[in-house]
Amino acid sequence: MNASLKPAVPQTTISTWLRDAAEELAMANIPTALLDAELILAHTLHKSRTYLHAHGDDTLDPHRLEIANARLDLRKDRVPVAYIIGHKEFYGRSFKVTPSVLIPRPDSEALIECLKKHWGEKPGRLVDVGTGSGCLGITAKLELPLDVTLCDTSNHALTIAEDNARSLGATVTIQRSDLLTNITGTFDIILANLPYVDTSWERSPETNHEPALALFAENGGLALIYQLIDQTGLYLKKAGLLLLEADPTQHAAIIAHAKNRRLSIIETSGYCLAFTKS
């Protein structure tokens, strides 16, 4: 057959890919199907989602199409979008994430709001325990005049946190530590989003791709939170703040445990608990 008579290879436009991808994700029971398709394609093309809508008739380059399809397959397997595109927004800033760290959740932003409300613009020393990506401690550093230490048991997580601090221009101290065991000195503020999920809880399939070390804890999810509360006697200054994240069903038990450690609850907001030390 004459080469000029060969059938043309079908071309895929941006709008066609988005439509088909959203349908495939919806069939995989992903509720944010269209949004996820847009995020994947926008990342693949290094463009904004607005660009996609304005250039729906543009044809996708075969190489970019192949990459987008591979990423779509990952999402259909319930790999979180943040791991596919390599970043997640938290408190208006983009944080690098990998499967070595928990993906920042919007619910965790309540910890920053509690910090601002109860500490204000005063200088002070803060430690972010189990920092993961560093989103909490780095945000605290960028929002308030604080001396911030990020600590975690995972070297991989600390590498990600250090990368995020550097890219966002936050000057922080990085320290490997099992909770506060390897930390020196005392703090005005202890901030922590520790693992609090019990393995028996019903949860999203996406969490299967997140590090178990950052999700699960024994004693109904309370073991590590209790350990940290017990450490406040040595590490938290008088009148200091302890800010924790936990499921609301766990709040009453945490408050009761903290009461025996001279910690008084001053606020619960969503998943956030705020204590002060007497």
Shared domain for 226 and 260, answered yes or no, is yes
pLDDT digits (tens, 9 = 90+) for 143-166: 999 999 999 999 999 999 999 999
**What's the pLDDT tens digit per position in 191-233?**
999 999 999 999 999 999 999 999 999 999 999 999 999 999 9
Which band of pLDDT confidence, cut at 50, 70 and 90, is reported for residue 7? low
Residue that is last in its domain, among 31, 46, 77: 77
pLDDT score of 2 more than 90: no
pLDDT band with cut points at 50, 70 and 90 for residue 32: very high
DSSP code at position 178: S
Q: What angle do CA 64, 65, 68 make, to 5 degrees?
A: 85
Instruction: Give residue 5's pLDDT.
Output: 55
DSSP letter assigned to residue 80 = -
* Lowest mean per-residue pLDDT among 5-14, 118-127, 247-256: 5-14
Domain boundary among 58, 77, 96: 77
Task: Let me know if residue 105 belongs to a domain.
Answer: yes
Report the chain's mean pLDDT, rounded to a whole number: 95
Are 98 and 64 in a shared domain?
A: no
Confidence at 4, pLDDT banded by 50, 70, 90: low
Residue 121 has pLDDT above 80, yes or no: yes
pLDDT tens digits, one per residue of 38-66: 999 999 999 999 999 999 999 999 999 99
* CA atoms of 79 and 20, how far apart (whole Å): 19
Handedness of CA 30, 63, 84, 93 (dihedral sign): negative
pLDDT value of position 1? 47
Please tell me the distance from the alpha carbon of residue 170 to that of residue 164, in angstroms, as a whole number: 8
Contact 219, 154 (CB under 8 A): no
Q: Which residues are CB-contacts of 181 (< 8 A; sequence separation ≥ 6)?
A: 231
Count of residues in the chain: 278
Claim to verify: residue 208 and residue 260 sit in the same structural domain:
yes
Q: What is the pLDDT of residue 11?
A: 87
In a domain, 37, yes or no: yes
Question: Where in the sequence is the domain holding 29, given as residue range(s)?
Answer: 12-77
Give the predicted TM-score (pTM) of the model. 0.91
Do residues 202 and 107 share a domain?
yes
